[in-house]
Structure 1
Amino acid sequence: MAQALLAYMAVVSLVLLVFMGMDKSRAKKQEWRIAERTLFTLAICGGAVGGVLGMYLFRHKTRHNSFAFGFPLLAALQIFMIVRLWGISL
């Protein structure tokens, strides 16, 4: 079960990472943007690690407190959940 959850979270993280890059690119071009609600929904649904990577890789949303604190907090909780499911003691 932990492997399936990890694979799921990896896919959602990759999707969120790509969305963060697309949104940053669109922001630079002053084009239609991806809704913040969509980005947070993907993070809550298991993609927070990709969100954190996207924030710092693309330097996107790092000044928004909800992202700067929310994504890392969600990522920590999701990593903790995987570690606990895998049976690794901390």
Structure 2
Amino acid sequence: MSIVIGYFIIISMVGFTLMGIDKKRAQKGQWRVPEIRFWTIGILGGGIGLYMGMKTYHHKTKHKTFIIGMPVVILINLLCYGYAVYLLK
């Protein structure tokens, strides 16, 4: 079970960091992180980290796909984590 929790923490940190990097690059007019990368990290379990990054960095907060989609991804993540924890008991 600790592997599941560790994975959750690491992938969430990756998502949070990626959101911050993209915000900084947007401000500097540099190359941006493709949106598909955010969604991939989210589907792989980093939805909470991405959402926290959105709120912390005020980034992607006007995009309807992120405003609506990220909470849906988080719900899917939580269901998957819950199922994984249940299986590992």
Q: Same fold (TM over 0.5)?
A: yes
Q: 1:4 is matched with which residue? A: 3
Alignment check: 8 A CA contact 2:12 2:47 kept: yes
RMSD over aligned Cα atoms: 1.4
Partner of 1:53: 52
**Equivalent in the alignment of 1:73:** 72
Deviant stretches of 4+, over 4 Å: none
Task: Report how far residue 84 of structure 1 moved.
Answer: 4.4
1:37 counterpart residue number: 36
Question: Which residue identity does 1:71 align to in structure 2?
Answer: M
CA deviations on 1:22-43 (whole Å, 9 max, x unpaired) are 0001001111101101111001
Displacement after TM superposition at 1:83 (Å): 3.3
Deviations 1:6-56 (A, max 9, x none): 211210110010010000010011111011011110011110010110010
Q: Distance in 1 between matches of 2:6 and 2:42?
A: 15
Structure 1 gaps of 5+ residues are: none
Count of residue pairs the alignment pairs up: 86
Q: Give identity over the alignment, percent.
A: 31
Aligned-pair CA distance for 1:85 = 4.2
Letter in 2 for 1:77: I
The CA distance in 2 between the partners of 1:33 and 1:84, in whole Å, is: 34
